[in-house]
Structure 1
Amino acid sequence: MSLANMNSHNIIKELNVIPTTIKIDALSWQQGVLKGGEQMKIYAELCAKIFESETQLNNAKRSRELRHAKKRIHKLFKRLDKAYNQMKHILETLTEIRLRTEHMWRRVRLWNDDELIREHCITWELTTTKLLEFLQFLTQRYDCEWEIKEMVMNELEKVSDNYDANILLEAWLDNSHAGGDEFERKLIAFYSSIGQRYATTQYYSRYT
């Protein structure tokens, strides 16, 4: 086998496993968004309780009331830190998926210049070119959605009232880029092309 044929053989082997990676990552992304929504709801609720407790602290006239309010606020902040760290971990997972998808897209785009690779059928319905198109779509959608999730994370520690917390919650739950009907249709078509069914999750409907 020539060096060129060996290289093509290795590329085709890698191409054939990319759909599985996409499928696993798509599920992990949806789960991450769901868990993030749950933690965001907890975060917003804790913020509301903290603001309420701070008002009670400011209005406290007895030392017992002061101690009780301070103790409650301390416990709430510990729970808030836990929710924040959970969100941070979720964003890290979404970041890994985003970067991995972009990496796959760039590699397939490079390989697609080769006629032999371009004509390769990963399945009966999924050619290298179609895979490239889907990876480009995913990369763009993940990028846009990730930027919003990152913005939410960056603003969490700046929350100063319930309005701020609710705005960030709504921003996380929106999922207009890597969610919704068009995104789901694309995933359904992709799963169909690899001979599998896509189980719709509607991963933000539970919050709306």
Structure 2
Amino acid sequence: MNSHSILRELNKMPNKIRVDALSWHQAVLNGGNHMKLYSVLCAKIFANETQLGTAKTERKLRHIKKRIHRLFKRLDKSYKRLKQTLAQLSNIQLRTERMFRRVRLWNDDELVREHCITWELTTSKLLEFLEFLTRRYDYEWEIKEMVILGLEKVSCNYDAQILLQAWLDNSHAGGPEFECKLTDFYRSMGQRQTTSQHCAKCV
């Protein structure tokens, strides 16, 4: 790829990053809703399974079993949606890592390194942000994957609540520091939006 093609590609990257950041945020929110539903369904299943041992009639027993079957079908549907969410996050993670590797390679060229994508965003600054974003997405995705893998091992309400909290935490690709970095990046693009509430220091 020649220098002019590289510069054109660099100019497109900030918007790709912005779109992916918004998609990541929305996917995590949707995943959180699915996780909450999963936790609720687990609680209902455990409660109904407890009732199996106390059912006094065959009719009551059949009724409870049918209810549990319906709950498991809903649980499976919720699990599949969470797997889809994880795949979406993985795609964003891989795209970001690919951009980082390409920019890191291109940055060895002096012409490319000194290129100004906007008045405030140079190739070097883009590389620095991509490195930060790649690292944070990697860490967060590993946690999300751990949560999804843990769902099949849930044996009580406590297990489900722990996994739910782990999903909602977002300590790597969320929180004040992450949002401040995004805010600074958007400002360098001439925009002011972020994925969620700005932290007070960023406004």
Q: TM-score, normalised by structure 2?
A: 0.96
Write the mapping of 1:82-121 to structure 2, written as runs, cut at 5 A. 82-121=77-116
Note if 1:80 corresponds to 2:59.
Answer: no
1:15 maps to what in 2?
10
| Aligned counterpart for 1:38 among listed residues 33, 38, 50 | 33
Runs (4+) of structure 1 exceeding 3 A deviation are: none
Residue-by-residue CA offset, 1:45-98 (whole Å, 9 max, x unaligned)? 000000000011122121011111000000000100111011000000000000
1:54 maps to what in 2?
49
Residue-by-residue CA offset, 1:159-192 (whole Å, 9 max, x unaligned)? 0000000000000000000000000000000000
Give the aligned residue type for 2:123: T
Instruction: Flag structure 2 segments of 5+ consecutive residues without an equivalent.
Output: 199-203
Instruction: Give the CA deviation at 1:114.
Output: 0.4
Equivalent-residue separation in structure 2 for 1:58 and 1:41 (angstroms) = 27
Equivalent-residue separation in structure 1 for 2:92 and 2:197 (angstroms) = 19
Q: CA RMSD for the aligned pairs?
A: 1.2
Equivalent-residue separation in structure 1 for 2:196 and 2:32 (angstroms) = 14
Q: TM-score, normalised by structure 1?
A: 0.93
Task: Work out the number of aligned pairs and report it.
Answer: 198
The SS at the match of 2:117 is coil
Equivalent-residue separation in structure 2 for 1:200 and 1:29 (angstroms) = 9
Equivalent-residue separation in structure 2 for 1:153 and 1:170 (angstroms) = 12
Equivalent-residue separation in structure 2 for 1:117 and 1:25 (angstroms) = 24
1:178 maps to what in 2?
173
2:192 maps to what in 1?
197
Query: Percent same amino acid among aligned pairs?
Result: 70
